[in-house]
Chain A
Amino acid sequence: MALLSTHGLTAHYGQFQALFGVDITLERGECVAIIGANGAGKTTLLRALAGVLPNRADAIVYKGEPIGDRPADAVLRRGIAMVPEGRKLFPSLTVEENLLIGAHARKLAGPWSLEAVYGLFPILKERRHGPGTALSGGQQQMVAIGRALMSNPDVLLCDEISLGLAPVVIRDIYNAMPQIRAGGAAVIIVEQDIGQALKVADRVYCMMEGRVTLSGPAAGLSREAIHNAYFGAAA
Chain B
Amino acid sequence: MTTSTPETGYRVETRTRTSRVAGLAAIVLLAGLFVLPAFASRGLIQDLFFIFTMLTLAQFWNLLAGYGGLVSVGQQAFVGIGAYAMFGAVILWGLDPLPAILLGGLAALALAVPFGFFAFRLQGAYFAIGTWVLAEVARLVVAQWRAVGGGTGTSLPRQATETIAFTETIAQLLDVRPAAARDILAYWLALVLAILAIGGIYWLLRSKRGLALAAVRDNPQAARSIGVDGQRVKWFVFLAAALGTGLTGALIYMQKARISPDAAFSLSDWTAYVIFIVVIGGIGTIEGPIIGVLVFFLLQTLLAQYGAWYLMILGLVSIGVMLAAPRGLWGSFSHRTGIQLFPIRRRLTGGRL
Question: A–B direct touch, CB within 8 Å, in complex?
Answer: no
Which residues of A does B touch, CB under 8 Å? none
Which residues of B does A touch, CB under 8 Å? none
